[in-house]
Structure formats: C-alpha cells, structure tokens
Structure 1
Amino acid sequence: MKVALLGTGFGRAHAALYHRSPRVDEVVVFGRTPEKLARIAADHGFATTTDLDSVYADPDVDLVDVCLPVPLHAAHAVRAMEAGKHVLCELPLAADLDEARRVAEVREATGRQAFVDMFARFDPATEHLLAAVADGRHGELRTLEFETRAALLWPGATIGLDVMALEVLHSDLDVIVAALGAPRSVTAAGVDAGDGRSAAEVLLDYPGRLVRCLGSSLNPVAFGMSGGFRASFTGATLVRSFSGAPGHGMTGTLTEYTAQGVRTVDLPGRDTYAAVIDHVLDCLEGRADNRISPASVLDGLKVTLDVHHALTGGFTGSRRAAR
C-alpha cells in the first residue's frame, strides 16, 4: 500500500496515523512549503514533494489522501479517481453540493473507492445513539441536543461564522441526519466576535421532536474542548460528555438514565481518526463495506450548507432555511 498525502496542515495528523500503521508500506507527502515538508520527513521518514503532478503520475500510488483547503477537496478527489487512484477526502467533502455530487458520480463511473473522513460515525457513543434510535429500545426520541465548545487550539486557527458550519457543526449535523433523516427546515443564529471566534446555534425542524446543535469557539485556550449530546426518549435519557485540554488528552462518558436508575454505558476505547484510516484500509483489502462513501454524506452536507448560508448572510441574528 502506497499513500499520497496531500497537505501539511491537518495532513500532519494523518501522517502520524500512517506512520503507525503496519499495513501502509510507503507514504509520499505533497506540500508547497519546504519547511513543513522537512518537519514531516524528520518525524516520520516519509518522502516529500512539491510537484503535485508527479503524485498523480505515480503508478504505485494506491490511495490519495486529500487534506488540502476545503475549496480544493472535490477537484482533487475527482482527479485522483480519474487517475486510477482510490481517495480519502478530509471533511467536508465540498463547500458546494453540486461539486460533492460530482465526486459521487465519478466514483460510480470509475469504479474507484472513495471515502470522506466522517470520523464521528466511528465514535462508539454515536454508534450507541444511532442504534437506540433505530431499534426503539428506549421508546420514541423526543429531544436531541449536540454541543461542541472549543478554543482556538492551533496557532493561526480561526473559527468565525464563515467556517463554523463546515468545520465545527458538520459532524454533529451528519449524525443527526443519519439518525432522523433530513429536517423540514433549519433555523440558524450566530454571533461573530470579530477576532476569529464565533458561536452558532441551529434548530432543526422534525415533527414531534426538538433538535438543536450548538458550536462555539468563544473560549480561551485553557478551556480546551468539551461537548457531547443529550438524547431524551420516552423511556430514557442518554448523555454523552467529553472534555479535554492542551497536553491532557480527551476523556468522555456515556450515561444512561432510566426508571431503574443510572448506569455508565461500557464502550470500547477508540481513536476515531485512526478508526477511519483502519476502515479505509479494510475496505481496500476487501474486508469491509464502505461506511463513509461520498453518496452517504450528501444529505448531511446539504443541511450543513443550509446552515452555512444562513450564518454567512451578512447578519448577526437568525435565518430560516426552508427545504
């Protein structure tokens, strides 16, 4: 297995995962900044290049991992498949729904495998929630609330309203759509601090249910990150919470509240980012069916883009996006 990794930003996290995988034989990293490439080469011993054309021309490359800026995602996913490569694309798949649909169409036309890094789908707590909604073990779902609160944890990072939906809310919105289907409409409200920080709240219209999603970057670095979900059924409430701070890692729990009492749900420990890479390799080796294909993310991406357009309409307030 030879992987071509495009990008030296978030691509550094993927590089560490490939370095630890015994199933990846060779990695070449593309970037435009020699200093960043040199650091990756020193950390992992990977080959590097500033020549993008050479990556696509290399017949030994099996998988192209796209960790470039969001506006470039779809174009490089298409180029990779048309060059005969499989592709893993960092989320979101695209900032335009037509471009995302084009990726799904090219996957069908070329027969190549394509994956979108929807890591939240591999969180054991998320899997537990989706199973509970699907099989009705706790009765009917009545409320579902997701929250992600963070600081600007990386040098130079910004999370204003221009990227809040696509870079923070997208994973949670994808889970909501996976659980409940597309909402009838979305209503979004946001506030931008003007210094690269913001907060937004989204209400999603589902008959007989109250569903909301919140994201915030209005916190100092010491705050780290926290969040989770609360799902209230007619017979139980599930509460997922996680938190972490720089240098201290992440911790999380899933608690079930019923008429019989309270219990902590025993879930397997899992690095969701590593789980995505393992799933991609399993699929390429014929060991699994693709759970994160481009076609599977379109409905969630449509909702995310509705929210994005509502939050970036030149106002601080709320807007309803009809579907």
Structure 2
Amino acid sequence: MQESTIRIALVGTGFMGRMHAQVYRQIGGCAVHHVLSLKGQTAEELAGKLGAEVAPDFDSILANPDIDVVDICLPTDLHAPFSIRALQAGKHVLCEKPMAIDLESADQMLAARDASGKTLMIAQCIRFWPEYVRLREIVKDGRLGNLRSLQLTRFGAFPTWSSEGWIGMEPRSGGAALDMHIHDTDFVVDLLGEPDEVISRGSVDERGVSRVFTLMRCGRTTVQLEGGWDLPSSAPFRMSFRAVFDQGLVMFDGGPLTIYRDGQAPEPVTDLPRMSAGDVGGNLSDLGGYFFEIDYFLRCIREGKPVDASSPESSRQALAVALNEIGQVHHQGAHS
C-alpha cells in the first residue's frame, strides 16, 4: 500500500473499541471512516469523537471500497465470523484477542486469510507492552544469562462493562482464562515456544473458570502463571512478572520495571515509552501495548510486510495452550 491514509472501520464500541479509537486519534496516516455498534447506542458518540460516520450494518462496511481495514472489537465468540467475512470481502483485519472461542474457528480464520491474500493480525497487546518488550530483549540478548524461572500474574475484579453480560458467559467469552489469563499464556508461548508440559488447576463458578493457576515447563525454564477475575469489586487490577536469571532478577509489579544484580543497587528502567489512555475509562491510564500493536499493524499494512511480531499462527498456538488449561481446570478445579 502506498503512503496514503489507511481507512478503517471500527466494529465494536465497548471498552476495547474505545481503547482502539483513542489509539487511532493519536496515530498519523490513518482515519476511522465508519463505526459500527451491534447495539447502536454508543456508536454516535464515538463516531463523533473520531469524525467518522455511523455504519448502518456490517454489510455496508464490507461493500464499501473505501475501507482498507476492519478492526474487530466484538465479543470473543464473534471474532471468527466477523473476521472471516471481512477477509472474504478483501479487507485487512485487526481482531482483538483471543483469536477465537475454539481452534476450529481459528483455523477457519487462517484459511480465510490465506484465500484472501490480506493481512490478519490478532491484537496481542502484551507482546507490545513496554515492560514485557524489555523483558523479551533481556531474555533474547542474554545479558543476565539464562532465564531460570518466570512468574506472571494478572487478576482483578469481575469486569462489568460487557454488553448484556456476555463476558460472564463462558461459551461466549471463555471465562477468565480466555479473556484475561491468555495475555500471559500468549506471552510465554511467544517468548519460549510451546511448553513441554502444562499443569493447570483453578476455580470454577457460574461464569466458568474464574481463576487459573498454571505451571509450565519450557525447556530449562519453569513458568508459573496465575490469573483471575474473582476479587472484590473494590480491588485494583494488577499485572506483574518476576523473571529470575543466572545473573539477576527482573521485576515488574505496577511500578517501574527494575533489574536486580548481586552486589549492586536496584536499577529502575526509566526509558520506556508512555502513551496516555485519555478518557477511555477501564483499569488503565496508559495505552501501552494497545498503541504499539496498532501502530505496528498499520506499518506492516503500509509497507506490505508480514505481521511476524504477532502472527495469527502464533495466536492460534497460544489459544490451544489456553484451551488445554481451561480443560484441566474444569476437570480438576474446585467448583463454587
């Protein structure tokens, strides 16, 4: 694609749709032309902020030759059908994570991508989150030696923002494991490859898996993950990691990313990029990986390059591991 404005249709106007909209307002060389809400009530306000039109339906977006990209920010069970239709209509597609509700749907998305010749990318924001990007660099360049162990956590209160409460319906969202915990599963799979062993336990309630504890063996690295949305409504959202290397420790727990070495003062990392989230609400004040993933996707479109940093094949691989975790929790988990 030449250096012209990339024209986008944003499909979905909930929390994640608003997050993506805030990113598009800050990135040059693109414009949101149409906004579609399946419920309709929030499309007018968001379209007004973007200087976009409200699309009457999805068919009108697919038939519009001026639209280059369709950005899917819909409930998880709708990711595959809407992405497939957009690819079949000759549009590039950015689809929110997780890739799909099951592997069959993910495979259908890959087949549609192959048949269309267009770009499909799954928005795996943690791959682009500055603290996690820096951890990846430290692992890959070996400056602290081998990665011995990695612990990742992600938990908070149950999210109440979903339309008609779809996020609390496991057949639609995949529960906490597929909606929240998969961020960390995806990061591990992308960083270390498919695990040699996965052992998962957790808790199950009327919304499905509400908390998951997973132990992975990835070569010589032991990985421990914990994620869930079963905290009180007043509890803050938290994501963190602790990476133990031969020659040091890298920690992130909401404050500055910090490196620790024997006999040296702690080394806070102060050069990470920041992008304000503005007025989107939710549990984040920093656009973080949302900005950098979308910027990367648009650059790949413009330059005709593959989305190697977030290929849908790798997202499918992470989905397979997460579904394995869910299956183990349901089989062995504590029910409440």
Tell me if TM exceeds 0.5.
Answer: yes
User: Structure 1 residues 197, 124: CA separation in 2 closer, same or farther (over 3 Å shift)?
Assistant: same
Q: Which runs of 4+ in 1 moved over 4 A?
A: 156-162, 193-197
Alignment partner of 2:232 out of 220, 224, 233: 220
User: Structure 1 residues 197, 74: CA separation in 2 closer, same or farther (over 3 Å shift)?
Assistant: closer
Deviation digits for residues 230-261 of structure 1 (CA, Å, limit 9, x no counterpart): 1111211111111xxxxxxxxx3211111242
User: Structure 1 residues 254, 38: CA separation in 2 closer, same or farther (over 3 Å shift)?
Assistant: same
Aligned to 2:3: none
- How far residue 168 of structure 1 moved from its aligned partner, in angstroms, is 0.9
Deviation digits for residues 156-181 of structure 1 (CA, Å, limit 9, x no counterpart): 56568751111111111111112221
Aligned to 1:107: 113
**8 Å Cα contact 1:148/1:214 also seen in 2:** yes
Report the secondary structure of 2:152's partner residue. Answer: strand
Alignment partner of 2:133 out of 110, 121, 127: 127
- Residues of 1 paired with 2:215 and 2:234: CA distance? 29
Report the secondary structure of 1:217's partner residue. Answer: strand
User: Structure 1 residues 95, 12: CA separation in 2 closer, same or farther (over 3 Å shift)?
Assistant: same
Alignment partner of 2:143 out of 137, 140, 148: 137
Alignment partner of 2:100 out of 94, 99, 105: 94
TM-score of the pair, normalised by structure 1: 0.86
**8 Å Cα contact 2:150/2:241 also seen in 1:** yes
Task: Give me the CA root mean square deviation.
Answer: 2.4
Aligned to 1:274: 291
Alignment partner of 1:304 out of 301, 305, 322: 322
- Residues of 2 paired with 1:197 and 1:102: CA distance? 26
Structure 2 residues without counterparts, runs of 5 or longer: 1-5, 275-287
Moved more, 11-20 or 111-120: 11-20
- Residues of 1 paired with 2:77 and 2:40: CA distance? 22
Aligned to 2:260: 257
TM-score of the pair, normalised by structure 2: 0.83
1:36-185 matched pairs, under 5 angstroms = 36-155=42-161, 162-185=174-197
Residue identity over aligned pairs, in percent, reads: 31
- Residues of 2 paired with 1:195 and 1:86: CA distance? 33
**8 Å Cα contact 1:198/1:217 also seen in 2:** yes
Structure 1 residues without counterparts, runs of 5 or longer: 243-251, 318-323
Report the secondary structure of 2:74's partner residue. Answer: coil
- How far residue 85 of structure 1 moved from its aligned partner, in angstroms, is 0.6
Higher relative contact order (CA 8 A, sep 6+): 2
User: Structure 1 residues 295, 193: CA separation in 2 closer, same or farther (over 3 Å shift)?
Assistant: closer
- How far residue 78 of structure 1 moved from its aligned partner, in angstroms, is 1.8
**8 Å Cα contact 1:8/1:31 also seen in 2:** yes
1:257 is matched by which residue type in structure 2? Y
Report the secondary structure of 2:300's partner residue. Answer: helix
- How far residue 102 of structure 1 moved from its aligned partner, in angstroms, is 2.7
